[in-house]
Structure 1
Amino acid sequence: MFIHHMVGMFHHPKEEWGSIHKERYSIAHVFMAQISILAAIPAVCMFIGTTQIGWSLTGNDFVKLTVGSALSAAVAFYFACWVAVAFIAYSIHWMEKTYGGHVDMNECLILTTFTATPLFMSGLAGLYPMLWFNVLVGLAALCYSVYLLYVGVPVIMEIPEDRAFFFSSSILTVGLCTLVGMIVTSVLLWQTVVPLSYVS
């Protein structure tokens, strides 16, 4: 069912949001059946890409990570995705009454998860970890996630479209700050607590 919705998000997102809203998924189902799979996509792909192909800025001089180092980074990123999704969903739930929303935490988590699906899917680019390629794929996924957010908020949060626009903008701000926070934290951890080890 989740894969069906995911495909629908790329063909007819507004209608698909309506179908998702009617199904009323539980928090446990979203985390265990959806986020657990989606978060694994970038983590596993980055692990394979950095150990088998290696990072590169220009397509030359690929630098590989050791298996142990890449595994630690992948596991940390996997659970960081869980935390990020939960934090954004909580922020949506905390802000919703300001914009006239009256849904529960389940709906906020569903909105976050399906909105972020293109970003998770863009993790497939990690199989070929060349910087410019990954940046382009990530930007394209981010643009589509923003589109899904603005389409989905009035449907899932059950609020008028004029309020939904401002609510979506607030959610976008939280999401972008969370994304930047994840990147900065990862860089700091890789330089201090769990430094990356490269294949000599």
Structure 2
Amino acid sequence: MRRTAAELGVGAMSLYRYVPGKEELGGLMIDEVFGERPLPEPGPPGWRAKLELSAQHEWEIYVEHPWVPQLFALTTRPPIAPRMMAYTDWRMRAVDGIGLDFETMVRAAIMVSVHTQSGALPLACEMHAKDTREHWLGMRSAKLQEVFDAGEPTMIARFGAESVQASEPASIFEFGLQPLLDGVAELIPE
């Protein structure tokens, strides 16, 4: 709250006239950024295309605002943010009518968001890093080579430029989304 007040040029206590605390402030901030990127109605045909689109939209929110998944990671309950909740509702409507019970629809909708959030969490860390990932790796290449020359870990020693690219947050997000959706498909009755 103090940092927000300082950025706004007001006293920290004056913020409490508008919001009761940092949880509510976080909810308002999250609601605002999700409101910047509403999901289209009705969206593409098919439940899978809809879930992919919603995940991509949410990923773009996190790329533009990397502090959002970090804020989620600091809480145990989702914020009361109607425009964020609209994503869960939209996803549940995407899988409604394909044979899943309501609780499974809830799990599928939230699971897409949890996957997206967890994949995006390193973006916030990168935002606060003093140098680029490439520079960081370059500065530690001698130490890494020492570890590899010692013979352990053998699989990590095989890392090359393609492997480093594959370990990037966006690559992990894309890679994980497809098996996640394959798992949802397995739950659909014949």
Asked if Structure 1 and Structure 2 have the same fold, meaning a TM-score greater than 0.5 normalized by the shorter chain, the answer is no
Structure showing greater Rg: 2
Q: What TM-score do the two structures reach when normalised by structure 2?
A: 0.32
Q: What TM-score do the two structures reach when normalised by structure 1?
A: 0.31
